[in-house]
Structure 1
């Protein structure tokens, strides 16, 4: 955007799967994978141009980008369906899934499946692209004042949104750019008040609308034979839908629950981790608007660099959701089957459904996420001090008035919500300090220290979790059999042998026993098959919506102190060494408490002695499925503490009682300790080499997570993962477990060669992630073989089981061409040049799929790129 017209165009691509090497190993096949992860296409085109509109006064810059990345996921196949089988057989495949194997998965030759619906298969491709356009104007309003503004509009399309754990046809999501709107806008005014003073005032806005829905009929017809009717994955909610809050409910014979809306509900298998039958449902995000005004004033003198400023974010978020059946079907290692008549034979009892408070819609507002800061960099001879102070203010609220009333659903009445007071808002002062000292006064050795406090960033999600309209799931038993009506009085026993009804149990109901028994094991969850209510706070009679949780009046905002001590030394001219120690301490950590239950501290519990609202019992993990032995036989080093440990059942008197309160724990703490040694060298002729070694240790104390003494699933605040990890319970205090340091190494280098060539490369060695193994305890392990609710426990002691270390080598070769005012380059990048093969994530639930990789390191892949600058 200067006084001279200039432009650039970048084109990068990987043409097809032949540009990628196969790193699928026998070890991966032994773990249950049938194909590896890969890329079939990468195209990235990014032209840009800029220049003057009015010389010295007004300039423009505009660019466009089109990028597509088509992915292959491990074990994901698109089947060729047989034309000589019934529609019921086809639908049975999409409900249950199948194991598809190929003689050569890369070419999809010799593919067969273990289901009669499959005639063949090919690798399923996740096709997606992003298109964007950007325009920017910059104006020199006066000698001291400049104004700029830009608008960026993004269009995103995903034909089938799936993964290694999501069936790629019926269970895939669909994103239509015509029903999505992403754009960002930004404007900035810069004023040079004097040679020492600078004023900056800006404003930006992010606008988002998004719909992710089930697959269209057009996309399904690409897979389904012409003679097979398509499943209605977007079936309308039945007009005669009846509400059953306290399941099971026994309706008259005229009310059928076998139509598409019930039949095509999503299935998420708890044992295999596989999602089948349908997408999670319509997820309509609207509105999602965020506004960011900001301003800063800087003043520079000889020894001071002073700055004061304000950052402010506010906006609205909305979310509307619906789903077929208003449930998540949650079988365990396949759909429920009839129990063996022999009572000594095991019978799977961990099947369930999540009853949902659908349809639902909620709106929240971040009224203020604001920071006002003042900082100064002060140079005193060899000492440089950078000190600052920041006032953080956060306030959000729930807009029930904006949503209005919600209609009733399958498990909840039509409802309205009273005006909700603002959720806790916080005012916090956060200091920032860093000090650098030139040890010998020769600018070769610097000692460094810093201590900075940061508040946990929040957005609308903070208020969202307290909305009475927010999505809530209630896990209930489901054995795909009609349940005994008497469980409403007795509470049932939590297993199919004791809870499934016979004809004699069903006398005197609105329909005949044969009517209810006819739906047994049909793969559909009818109201008379769904177990007892587990959350009587949200799923309640009446028409007033109640939130699933609420914040304590004194709930504090989580914070993080970061400390660093280091030394930087120039070993040789253009060669520097850095040594540093880092520590992060997280405090005021939230914990959830159910105030209607009496808590039980794991360390104080004894088997058979009631502990608060819980009944502890001793259990011994004896590898009932032989899956630990299977992985050990494959050479995996698996460490599980031997002997009995405690698991906990809920006292039946407390069934369904929920009043969740979020409090600030005075126990929970998270720590990070890290050591780093790095070196940076500028080589002759413009080369550069950088490398470093890091040792890191994570320690968590989560003994304040007492809502369930078996442990709870939480986000990992240290790793920044949004995937749940099991904490609390048996292994709550990691400070006593001797958590190990994990080691990573990186080396990067670039060097110019004769004839305008340039070579670069990197070596990265990573420690594998920590493994988790969760076990849903079968009811046969509970006292008397009966349970009130399930118990899921962590079997691995933290810090003892990890995925393997892995190393990735990348190389790149670039050639420059110069023609007068035009510069062009041709580049070839080779990622994972040694074609390393390693799993980076896996299924973590004990069962037949435990240990199966869900994410792999991509095989060696070539990408070429061309760039033109003029």
Structure 2
């Protein structure tokens, strides 16, 4: 459970399954012969397992977490599903079907991980969660088929505090219990550990209604299909925190800052998500063309929302705009975006030699970005408020908290930040360029290209491979109109001397941006504009990948598959920096850092790293089937901005920064500096995983019994999925400590009885 960078930073435990189960009986049959059928499925499945490096807190103080290694945390969850399908042959040509699935999900320690101990985990439940699909199909002739249907999805899921935080016994989102609690979420920068309370309590509501219709017409050389769908929906999110603050931040137990927050109730909706398409599969001898054209229209809207009563105000509401158009500056809701797109798709397949042994395929397709309510939510008058304010904090009364004994915020312990002037005020801070939200071809999209080939080497043995490329368009960024490049000072920060850093550390990371004190003193109100990146030279977001696979099928169901997959990602927003937009997102997030090797944080490449997989099955004597899968992956899969490289995010506090830059940071207690460029390091702790199964089928009268014995992670690999990317210089530094490792070896018995 360690990485090659820091052998001493090992885990004290790994994920270990306590219980795993899956009970899945099904039954069905005709209600009326050749007329009406049903099929019912009940399923109850779940897993209880310890989480690597997650323990209960043994320190009673509210501001320091000390792991109790005798009490590991357990990620305990299960799901209960009741699904019913009914099919009715109304006539010889018309059939109706109804499917309903009701699911109840329970996670008593939702989000538990190395950085989130059990007390700080959430409780996730779904008071409502079901999907219903009704469909009609008519085989009008042997060439013409009609379809129509309606789908309905309804879910409420909650992220609750632990009962120890609010004293609740029922698993419901209770605003009053949250307001009355005196337990708060805290985080220590030196370790990245959170404690005491879940950081993201919320109540989520989603409803989707979808109508669809289609027709298919088949001739000798054409398979033509056309249709349409219409979706609308409702979305609601309630958020509230104990003390109206999250998180309370320390650095190795020393107070750093407190983030004040406003509780909110946001509502948005999909007014219309319409798709109309036509496609044809056209066969011409050895060549087949797949042609398609799709029209999409998406209309999103905000709905009446509010800031709930809190410690800083009595709350306020946002009603409908008179003209029906969302206007966050005016504090009213309505239609947000109205996008229209035409997306072509073309595919080509060819039997190269006409003998059915070699095929060549290629395709190009445009896809609009999937949308639910993200843009509308971002434009909601509630969302564009300054909902949080991270203020530097000095613990003047020595009680370890920014609250007094009565649970009141002690504002005399907090100093103003850059967000303080607008915090809690009914003002709009973010707007969209009208070009982003309306018109033809304005919606985000990606274009995908594929080239693939397949060849039959021998009977039942083939090889195939392909190249895949995906580019993205209509990318947006947030332009802070208050500032330009001249509003910032640029500094160099010296990395700590550390043998685990590249070259042993001690190098300079330049290009760290900080607002000039004179500019900060102007108290300019927040004023952001979301714009197209193409207006300033554009951004690069490129995915490329290739794979090569060999497959053989043999007698008695035996098979062997082997393949190699490699992918790469490239991100580049240097054009935005060149245009003087270094305040766009924030220095750490945007990549203003400049490194000693001449590279820049604004250009991030994650190169090809092949992953290999081999799977197969073989029938042993007595009808016992042996199957297995082996996979190998190079390096640690740690978090990056869309990639998987080792990171070192160093929260540089003022006490460290002042000797380097000659002053404190402006309006903040710290700034985060990326000490290692994304895509530079991956470590050499490789995944080597083998899973195996033994299975046997028995005939028991008219029934058939199947028994399986599974062994997961036969080699008992401790490969880390993720490692901590938060760098620190304290003895409690958790950098490169694995935060999630491959599940240790375990066995599973399974059975299926069919009759």
TM tier, shorter chain? 0.7 to 0.9
Q: CA deviation at 1:734?
A: 7.8
CA contact (8 A) 2:166 2:178 kept: no
Change (3 A) 1:219 1:776: closer
Partner of 1:142, secondary structure, is: coil
Q: CA deviation at 1:820?
A: 3.7
Deviations 1:419-443 (A, max 9, x none): 2242222111111111011111111
TM alignment of 1:589-668, pairs within 5 A: 589-598=475-484, 600=485, 612-623=486-497, 628-629=498-499, 631=500, 642-655=507-520, 657-666=525-534, 667-668=538-539
Q: Which residue of 2 aligns with 1:449?
A: 362
Which 5+ residue runs of structure 1 have no aligned equivalent? Answer: 1-22, 82-89, 102-120, 223-232, 239-259, 338-350, 482-516, 601-611, 715-724
Q: Which residue of 2 aligns with 1:243?
A: none
1:294 aligns with 2:212: yes
Partner of 2:90, secondary structure, is: strand
Q: 1:846 aligns with which of 727, 739, 742?
A: 727
Highest Rg: 1 or 2? Answer: 1
Q: CA deviation at 1:523?
A: 5.9
Change (3 A) 1:653 1:361: farther
Q: Which residue of 1 aligns with 2:84?
A: 135
TM alignment of 1:151-166, pairs within 5 A: 151-166=100-115
Rounded Cα–Cα distance in structure 2 between residues aligned with 1:741 and 1:27: 21
Change (3 A) 1:463 1:269: farther
1:775 aligns with 2:673: no
Change (3 A) 1:219 1:237: closer
Q: CA deviation at 1:124?
A: 2.3
Higher strand share: 2
CA contact (8 A) 1:202 1:293 kept: yes
Q: 2:546 aligns with which of 672, 675, 679?
A: 675
Change (3 A) 1:25 1:741: closer
Q: Which residue of 2 aligns with 1:416?
A: 317
Partner of 2:333, secondary structure, is: coil
TM alignment of 1:152-231, pairs within 5 A: 152-176=101-125, 180-216=127-163
Q: CA deviation at 1:282?
A: 3.9
Change (3 A) 1:422 1:269: farther
Rounded Cα–Cα distance in structure 1 between residues aligned with 2:491 and 2:506: 17
Q: Which residue of 2 aligns with 1:99?
A: 67
Q: CA deviation at 1:130?
A: 1.0
Deviations 1:830-853 (A, max 9, x none): 111111111110111111111111
Rounded Cα–Cα distance in structure 2 between residues aligned with 1:218 and 1:787: 35
Rounded Cα–Cα distance in structure 2 between residues aligned with 1:32 and 1:786: 35
Change (3 A) 1:336 1:176: same
Q: Which residue of 1 aligns with 2:680?
A: 800
Change (3 A) 1:569 1:762: same
CA contact (8 A) 2:386 2:423 kept: no
Q: 1:709 aligns with which of 582, 590, 602?
A: 582
Q: Which residue of 2 aligns with 1:325?
A: 243
1:587 aligns with 2:473: yes
Rounded Cα–Cα distance in structure 1 between residues aligned with 2:128 and 2:27: 25
Q: Which residue of 1 aligns with 2:23?
A: 45
1:730 aligns with 2:593: yes
Rounded Cα–Cα distance in structure 1 between residues aligned with 2:6 and 2:699: 48
Change (3 A) 1:47 1:597: same
TM-score (norm 2): 0.86
Higher relative contact order (CA 8 A, sep 6+): 1
Of 374-383 and 291-300, more deviation after overlay is shown by 291-300
Partner of 1:310, secondary structure, is: strand
TM alignment of 1:363-762, pairs within 5 A: 363-400=267-304, 403=305, 405-412=306-313, 414-417=315-318, 418-470=331-383, 473-481=387-395, 517-518=396-397, 521-522=400-401, 524=403, 526-535=410-419, 538-541=422-425, 545-555=426-436, 556-598=442-484, 600=485, 612-623=486-497, 628-629=498-499, 631=500, 642-655=507-520, 657-666=525-534, 667-703=538-574, 709=582, 712=585, 726-730=589-593, 739-762=606-629
CA contact (8 A) 1:711 1:729 kept: no
Q: Which residue of 1 aligns with 2:328?
A: none
TM-score (norm 1): 0.75
Deviations 1:764-787 (A, max 9, x none): 112332122212233242432322
Partner of 2:423, secondary structure, is: coil
